[in-house]
Structure 1
Amino acid sequence: MAAPNVMLNIERLSSRVLRILGCNPSPMTLQGTNSYLVGTGQRRLLIDTTNPGKDEYIKLLKSTLEENTTSIQEIVITHFHIDHVGAIPDVCQNLLHSKEIKVSKMKKPVGDEVNIGLDYTFIEHNHTFHTEGATLRALYNPGHSNDHMILYLEEEQSLFSGDTIINGSSTTVQNLIEYMKSLQDILDLKPVRIYPGHGPVIEDGVKTTTDYIAHRISREKQVLEYLQGSKGDPRTVMDIVKKIYVGVPVVLHGKAAENVDQHLLKLQAEGKVVTEDGKGWIIKEN
């Protein structure tokens, strides 16, 4: 996927959506985590934050609130990863001067929640957030993480996709079977535009989602073709990465390996590949 244009630190994306860049660029976060202020009134929803200790992000968020004469009604978190939840304590301490703020997310079905020093409010699938000028419907959308949710902005027929879909790269996947279903769920919504967890706004939500699905199907085909060509000689995950992720920087091979591993687990569940030792993989003979 082509690299996106450089984004502004603060940008109005629509009459009800402002983006504040997380000031945490990296190979995994691209230009940074997108934090969104949603609504039109004197209190608005904040979707996601950034990593802890990002003073520049706090300054940007503070100036955005002041310039728009607004405050934070509630913090809504798409998923538990540290680049999304990490700055919540900093926001509370420096901007709210209090821990009396609702922080809402979906509960992890397995594993501990990231400790942010205050309690989460756990919501269910189809929960609706209301603020002046905006209505957000929360939809469970696992795959990238086991607690991941997306937020459908009803007034715009648009979507905050978290890290299920990002702009400028493919995303990492914790469970590919769930992830492919989540992509189809997004496609069924037919979002006009997508506000991703990383990268610029996606102006054609349906096309991009379709492309994401096609990309994963293509990767799966590459994995199968490579294993078929090995003629029964077991291949490791890293063998596959080096073969099919040509041109991808070595620094990203670890994350690529995680994706390949997910493809193999999906193919194993479908009875298409097997492994004897959990390391070397071959095509399953009929």
Structure 2
Amino acid sequence: MAAVIPAVTKLSARIIRVLGCNPGIMTLQGTNTYIIGTGKRRILVDTGDADVPQYINHLKSVLKHEDIDLAHIFISHWHHDHIGGLLDVLDIKDKTKYTQVWKYPRSEGESLPDGCNIDFLKDGQEFTVEGATLRVVHTPGHTTDHIVLHLVEENAVFSGDCVLGEGTAVFEDLYDYMNSLQEIADLEPAVVYPGHGNVIHSPREKIEFYIQHRKEREQQILDILINNRQKQFNEKELVRMIYTDTPEKLLKAAESNVNHHLVKLLKDNKVAQFNNLWQYNDICKMI
């Protein structure tokens, strides 16, 4: 069982974690939001869900007790459990009067909360507040706008939903996601602060596990299709054969993951698709 995450935790001299108080199947104990820096003007990473008074009260308490104003708010990606609480945070007006809000643009176009200005980030952009330098790394895959933030002073990475403190992540594009995992691995972080779950103190092992896990899932799908060359399968059938120990409530998300694997395999010319059914592509053996 995962260790319980307190509502507020001082993780280092320059990092305070405030739990979003929005537990759920996909959010685990809740969304982790992080206050970064050592001076009066600091950075907040993510804002949790909308309409969660418990989270806002905890955040207010930290900002008041530490005498902190928010210079910047960074949104790791557009999902509601990371951007939904933005207006509620900005409503702490004595602490956000001069706050700039940032996120990376979505390739599908934006649907942003009304009533606030959001500036768009660029890959490699750097921001500095007292005690902290953050570099933006665009890591698409979970979503097209997903970023991680590299804290130079501690060689730490705030990984959003790209790498989680427990379990594995879902994604929109497996090809991009695998590349993003490798990009995080290439940073060789000493520690990873995830968007959900506890702090990851052995990032290399965790990321290697993620990469290997995806390769194994891909091979499981291929093995079923290869051993049933004359049959065609939908995602639900493949999930029932592969995710045998997965709780029923998570099988829908598993179907989405299997679909992304199949799309990647289709690009690799290893499977064929007929009317939303999938089959091993014997032609690929001759290429």
TM-score for both structures, normalised by structure 2: 0.96
Unaligned regions of 5+ residues in structure 1, if any?
none
- Give the 3-state SS of the residue equivalent to 1:46 in structure 2: strand
Counterpart Cα distance in 1 of 2:105 and 2:123: 10
Runs of 4+ in 1 over 6 A off after TM superposition: none
The answer to whether the 8 A contact 1:20-1:57 is kept is: yes
**Aligned residue in 2 for 1:84:** 82
CA contact (8 A) 1:4 1:167 kept: no
Q: Is the 8 A contact 2:68 2:95 kept in 1?
A: no
Once the 2 structures are TM-superposed, how far is the Cα of residue 30 of structure 1 from its aligned partner? Answer: 0.3
For the residue of structure 1 that corresponds to 2:92, the secondary structure is helix
Unaligned runs of 5+ in 2: none
- Paired residue for 2:4, among 3, 6, 11? 6
Report the CA distance shift for 1:36/1:229 in structure 2 as closer, same or farther (over 3 A).
same
**Worse-matched range after superposition: 225-234 or 22-31:** 225-234
| Superposed counterparts of 1:28-43, under 5 Å | 28-43=26-41
- Which amino acid counterpart does residue 277 of structure 2 have in structure 1? G
CA distance in 2, matches of 1:8, 1:98: 24
Residue aligning to 1:165: 163
Find 2:261's aligned residue among 260, 263, 266. Answer: 263
Q: Residue 70 of structure 2 contacts residue 96 of structure 2 at CA under 8 Å; is this kept in 1? A: no
Cα distance in 2 for partners of 1:151, 1:96 equals: 26
CA–CA distance in structure 2, aligned partners of residues 91 and 101 of structure 1: 10
Match of 1:217 among 215, 218, 237: 215
Please state whether the residue corresponding to 1:89 is helix, strand or coil: helix
Q: Is the 8 A contact 1:99 1:118 kept in 2?
A: no
- In the TM superposition, residue 111 of structure 1 has moved relative to its aligned partner by 2.7
Instruction: State the partner residue of 2:186.
Output: 188
Q: How far off is 1:54 after superposition? A: 0.3
Determine the C-alpha separation between the residues in 1 that align with 2:112 and 2:212: 33
Map 1:74-223 to 2 at 5 A.
74-96=72-94, 100-223=98-221
SS in 2 for 1:275: strand
Partner SS for 1:168: coil
Superposed CA deviations along residues 197-231 of structure 1, whole A, max 9, x for unmatched, are 00010001111111111111111111111111223
Whole-Å Cα distance in 2 between the matches of residues 126 and 97 of structure 1? Answer: 28
CA distance in 1, matches of 2:278, 2:71: 51
- Corresponding residue to 2:282 among 245, 260, 285: 285
TM-score (norm 1): 0.96
User: Over aligned residues, Cα RMSD in angstroms?
Assistant: 1.3
Q: Distance in 2 between matches of 1:143 and 1:185?
A: 12
Relative to structure 1, the CA distance from residue 251 to residue 38 in structure 2 (aligned partners, 3 Å threshold; closer, same or farther) is same
Equivalent pairs, count: 283
Using the aligned pairs only, state the percent identity.
38
